[in-house]
């Protein structure tokens, strides 16, 4: 099995690379988003995001029959922001006409009320064979869409497989549909189920990576969308079997979908209006002085910082209307997790941006008495924010050349 290493783009291959064959149906698989709604990071180009994904899906829909399914993992954890994200995703899924959503334990952490809102906003397409799906208010039986009958499950014990899967397959057979299993479990579990139930046409499983080719167990195709919405993955059904697979990286060549952009903008407005940033857990910490206070003794280093992108880190968020989103702000200001750190631009302007104290630690005591030393900054200072997801090209020696002082 090979991980995807090539970048498929509309600019290079043209939209024909996405077009299903005439008379066929394209099965698009999504899921395991973990609350990631937009590309994030300081290394370009960043990939993914629901606005680009919707654009890619709609282009497929313009070219022929398409069935879109979501294999759970919409959010990661609980809390108010995650609830708002789940509602945003449910609206987006309805906008693009998703046929089935597998609600899993990762989603159920939000609570029964949030699940009912997801059901309503998505158009009632939730599916799960799990008894625990009693949190649902609507019918959550298998969903019919085009030539498919689709159901959702999580990692199952053998007795559950024996009890739940055969009736599902029999139902699909009686209706003349190909059974599609949305499985919130790993590749090994998917292979086990495919071996036991070879009449399942496709199993959508969970992985942190997408594949350059689908895994095939007999006639069953195992498909994964990866995680965090960075790719659009689909397979072509010819009426009897799957015949073609495509995995498209969602780079900046994909324009933002207008309808989903509106939905996403409402998400940002809600995050701001509900003051989600103010809900960030904070701990007591040493007091910060702000980067300006460093200029008195370290003017050369201060001037280097002042001209850097670090100094304008919050400006970039404000331009994108993400300056009240905790997911973004923590790496663009000083001390968001501290009770004496950044609060907002008006109250704590001296802590806006990635400042000296982001790397060297709280410095008020040092500014008042230079004998009180600060910690030494180095690679470990950077990797708190320059993580692979947000800064995949980060290399300390290379980056340090841009800001060395």
Residue by residue, what is the 3-state secondary structure of the chain? CCECCCCCCHHHHCHHHHCCCCCCEEEEEECCCCCCCCCCCCCCCCCCCHHHHHHHHHHHHHHCEEEEEECCCCCCCCCHHHHHHHHHHHHHHHHHCCCEEECCHHHHCCCHHHHHHHHHHHCCCEECCCHHHHHCCCCCCCEEECCEEEEEEECCCHHHHHHHHHHHHHHHHHCCCEEEEEEECCHHHHHHHHHHCCCCCEEECCCCCCECCCEEECCEEEECCCCCCCEEEEEEECCCCEEEEEEEECCCCCCCCHHHHHHHHHHHHHHHHCCHHHHCCCECCCCCCCHHHHHHCCHHHHHHHHCCCHHHHHHHHHHCCCCCCHHHHCCCECCCCECCCCCCCCCCHHHECCCHHHHHCCCHHHHHCCCCCCCCCCHHHHCCCCCCCCCCCCCHHHHHHHHCC
Taking only Cα atoms into account, the Rg of the chain, rounded to an integer number of angstroms, comes to: 24
Q: How high is the pLDDT of residue 60? A: 94
Residue 265 neighbours by CB under 8 Å, 6+ apart: 321
Q: How high is the pLDDT of residue 198? A: 97
Per-residue pLDDT band for 139 (boundaries 50, 70, 90) equals low
- Look over the chain and give the mean of its residue pLDDT values, rounded to a whole number: 88
Residue 101 neighbours by CB under 8 Å, 6+ apart: 69, 70, 72, 74, 90, 93, 118, 122, 125, 126, 127, 152
CATH class of 279-403: mainly alpha
Q: How high is the pLDDT of residue 389? A: 80
Q: How high is the pLDDT of residue 370? A: 87
Of 264, 207, 259, nearest to 233 (Cα)?
207
Q: How high is the pLDDT of residue 157? A: 82
CA angle 394, 400, 404 (to 5 degrees): 160
In the numeric block, which tokens belong to residue 263? Answer: 């939905």
Stronger pLDDT, 278 or 23, i.e. the higher one: 278
Please determine, for residue 21, whether its predicted confidence score (pLDDT) is greater than 80: no
Please determine, for residue 22, whether its predicted confidence score (pLDDT) is greater than 90: no
Q: How far apart are CA 28 and CA 36, in angstroms?
A: 18
Q: What is the mean pLDDT of residues 345-373?
A: 91
Q: What is the mean pLDDT of residues 16-34?
A: 79
Least confident of 16-30, 301-315, 330-344: 16-30
pLDDT tens-digit readout, 41-79 = 776 788 999 999 999 999 999 999 999 999 989 988 889
What are residue 211's DSSP bridge partners? 3
Per-residue pLDDT band for 86 (boundaries 50, 70, 90) equals very high
Domain map (residue ranges) of the chain:
10-265, 279-403
Q: How high is the pLDDT of residue 150? A: 97
Q: Which range in 35-49, 122-136, 241-255 is most confidently predicted, on average pLDDT?
A: 241-255
Could you give phi then psi for residue 216, rounded to 5 degrees? -120, 125
Q: How high is the pLDDT of residue 8? A: 44
pLDDT tens-digit readout, 170-187 = 999 999 999 999 999 999
Per-residue pLDDT band for 347 (boundaries 50, 70, 90) equals very high
Please determine, for residue 350, whether its predicted confidence score (pLDDT) is greater than 50: yes
Q: How high is the pLDDT of residue 130? A: 67
- CATH architecture label of 10-265: 4-Layer Sandwich (3.60)
pLDDT tens-digit readout, 214-246 = 999 999 999 999 999 999 999 999 999 999 999
pLDDT tens-digit readout, 261-275 = 999 999 999 999 999
Q: What is the mean pLDDT of residues 298-324?
A: 92
Q: How far apart are CA 213 and CA 234, in angstroms?
A: 11
Q: What is the mean pLDDT of residues 124-152?
A: 79
């Amino acid at each position: 099995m090979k991980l995807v290493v090539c970048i498929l783009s509309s600019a290079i291959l043209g939209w024909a690379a996405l077009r299903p064959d005439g008379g066929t149906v394209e099965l698009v698989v999504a899921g395991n988003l973990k609350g990631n709604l937009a590309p994030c990071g300081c290394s370009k180009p960043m990939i993914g995001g629901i606005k680009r994904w919707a654009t890619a899906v709609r282009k497929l829909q313009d070219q022929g029959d398409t069935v879109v399914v979501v294999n759970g993992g919409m959010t990661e954890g609980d809390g108010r922001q995650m609830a708002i994200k789940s509602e945003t995703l449910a609206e987006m899924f309805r906008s693009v006409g998703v046929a089935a959503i597998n609600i899993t334990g990762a989603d159920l952490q939000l609570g029964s009320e949030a699940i009912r809102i997801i059901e309503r906003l998505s158009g009632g397409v939730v599916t799960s064979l799990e008894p625990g799906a009693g949190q649902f208010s609507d019918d959550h039986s298998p969903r019919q869409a085009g030539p498919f009958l689709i159901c959702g499950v999580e990692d199952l014990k053998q007795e559950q497989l024996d009890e739940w899967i055969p009736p599902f397959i029999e139902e699909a057979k009686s209706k003349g549909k190909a059974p599609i299993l949305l499985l919130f479990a790993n590749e090994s579990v998917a292979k086990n189920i495919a071996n036991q139930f070879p009449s399942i046409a496709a199993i959508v499983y969970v992985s942190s990576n997408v594949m350059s080719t689908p895994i095939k167990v007999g006639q069953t195709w195992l498909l994964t969308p990866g995680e965090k919405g960075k790719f659009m993955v689909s397979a072509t059904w010819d009426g009897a079997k799957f015949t073609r697979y495509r995995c498209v990286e969602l780079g900046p060549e994909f324009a933002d979908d207008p309808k989903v952009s509106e939905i996403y903008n409402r998400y940002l407005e809600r995050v701001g209006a509900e003051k989600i940033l103010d809900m960030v857990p904070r701990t007591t910490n040493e007091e910060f002085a702000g980067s300006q206070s460093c200029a008195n003794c370290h003017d050369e280093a201060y001037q280097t910082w002042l001209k850097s992108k670090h100094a304008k880190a919050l400006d970039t968020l404000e331009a994108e209307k993400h300056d009240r989103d905790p997911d973004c702000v923590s790496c663009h200001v000083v001390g968001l997790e501290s009770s004496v750190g950044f609060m907002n631009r008006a109250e704590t302007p001296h802590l806006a941006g990635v400042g000296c104290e982001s790397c060297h630690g709280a410095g008020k005591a040092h500014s008042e008495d230079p004998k009180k030393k600060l910690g030494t900054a180095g690679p470990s200072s950077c990797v708190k924010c320059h993580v692979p997801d947000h800064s995949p090209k980060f290399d300390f020696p290379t980056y340090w050349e841009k800001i060395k002082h």
